């Protein structure tokens, strides 16, 4: 079956540091890939997505590139801010029997300190 | 504002009590989903509804029932709550727009 692997963290960085959160996946078909962000006490919000190989998703300074050859979708940001502190979920989505099946990673907690 | 609305936001139940979590979306989406979120396990699908009038089991359906009342509403019911159902529950629509969650504690 489908699966998504990411480290749980927490990842602790100083403000303005470079961020990488690794995400790898296994899938039976050709999934779309997503990063979601969850701020404390809130639901998940879509951060960025990529629907095919070599696509780059980007939003709010975050980027991730769909790498089919390495089955990866690593999240990067050049300079993190305290306001980026949150939990980040990598996910893949495939059409399955009439609905969109989404498989989530366990989430990586990011803490940015001033 | 368009989106997914969940109620209640917080709930404490005693073991054996029942309750229904409500979810409504105003985006005219066909599919709706219920997930639970537990530490170290990410989000796991409980039930989903591909369209009005249909529901199907997800990864962890035991102990839950659902009702797709109409296109807007998709409720999750716990008939006899157990401590293992202590979790944060999220409803989502087709585009995986999420509600803000229901934090449920079963004591």
> Are A100 and B98 within 8 A, CB to CB?
no
The answer to whether the CB of A52 falls within 8 A of the CB of A108 is: no
The model's confidence at residue B79, banded by pLDDT at 50, 70 and 90, is very high
At residue B2, the pLDDT reads 65
* A13 φ, ψ (degrees, to nearest 5): -130, 155
At residue A110, the pLDDT reads 96
The model's confidence at residue A4, banded by pLDDT at 50, 70 and 90, is very high
Compute the distance between CA of residue A16 and CA of residue B72 in angstroms, rounded to an integer: 43
Residue with tokens 């390495």: A70
Q: Map residue A79 onto helix, strand or coil.
A: coil
Instruction: List chain A residues with CB under 8 Å of B7.
Output: none
Residue of A36, A39, A43 for testing the chain B interface, max B β-carbons within 10 Å: A43
Instruction: List chain B residues with CB under 8 Å of A100.
Output: 31, 94, 96
At residue B93, the pLDDT reads 92
Residue A98 pLDDT more than 70?
no
> Are A34 and B96 within 8 A, CB to CB?
yes
State which residue of chain B sits closest to A8, comparing Cα positions.
Answer: B40
Residue B25 pLDDT more than 60?
yes
Nearest CB neighbour to B96, from listed A8, A102, A107: A102
Residues A14-69 have pLDDT tens digits of: 999 999 999 999 998 889 999 999 998 888 999 999 999 999 999 999 999 999 99
Residue B15 pLDDT more than 80?
yes
User: What percentage of residues in chain B have a pLDDT greater than 70?
Assistant: 97
Residue B1 pLDDT more than 60?
no
The model's confidence at residue B62, banded by pLDDT at 50, 70 and 90, is very high
Residue B107, C-beta contacts closer than 8 angstroms, at least 6 positions apart: B12, B13, B14, B15, B83
Residues B31-51 have pLDDT tens digits of: 999 999 998 888 999 999 989
Q: A-side interface with B, Cβ within 8 Å?
A: 4, 8, 34, 41-46, 89, 93, 97-102, 104-107
The answer to whether the CB of A31 falls within 8 A of the CB of A93 is: yes
At residue A42, the pLDDT reads 86
């Amino acid at each position: 079956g489908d699966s998504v692997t990411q480290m749980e963290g927490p990842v602790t960085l100083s403000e303005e540091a470079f961020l990488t959160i690794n995400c790898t996946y296994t899938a039976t078909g050709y999934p779309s890939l997503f990063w979601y962000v969850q701020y404390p006490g809130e639901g998940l919000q879509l951060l960025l997505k990529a629907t095919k190989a070599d696509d780059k998703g980007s939003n709010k300074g975050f980027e991730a590139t769909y790498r089919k050859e390495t089955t990866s979708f690593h999240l990067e940001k050049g300079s993190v801010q305290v306001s980026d502190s949150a939990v980040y979920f990598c996910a893949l989505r495939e059409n399955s029997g009439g609905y969109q099946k989404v498989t989530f990673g366990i989430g990586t907690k990011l803490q940015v300190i001033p | 504002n368009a989106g997914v609305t969940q109620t209640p936001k917080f709930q404490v139940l005693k073991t054996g009590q029942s309750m229904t979590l409500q979810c409504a979306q105003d985006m005219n989406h066909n599919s709706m989903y219920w997930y639970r979120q537990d530490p170290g396990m990410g989000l796991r699908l409980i039930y989903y509804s591909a369209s009005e009038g249909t529901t199907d089991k997800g990864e962890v359906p035991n102990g839950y029932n659902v009702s797709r009342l109409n296109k807007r509403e998709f409720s999750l019911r716990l008939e006899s709550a157990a401590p293992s159902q202590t979790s944060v529950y999220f409803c989502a629509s087709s585009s995986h727009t999420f509600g803000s969650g229901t934090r449920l504690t079963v004591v």
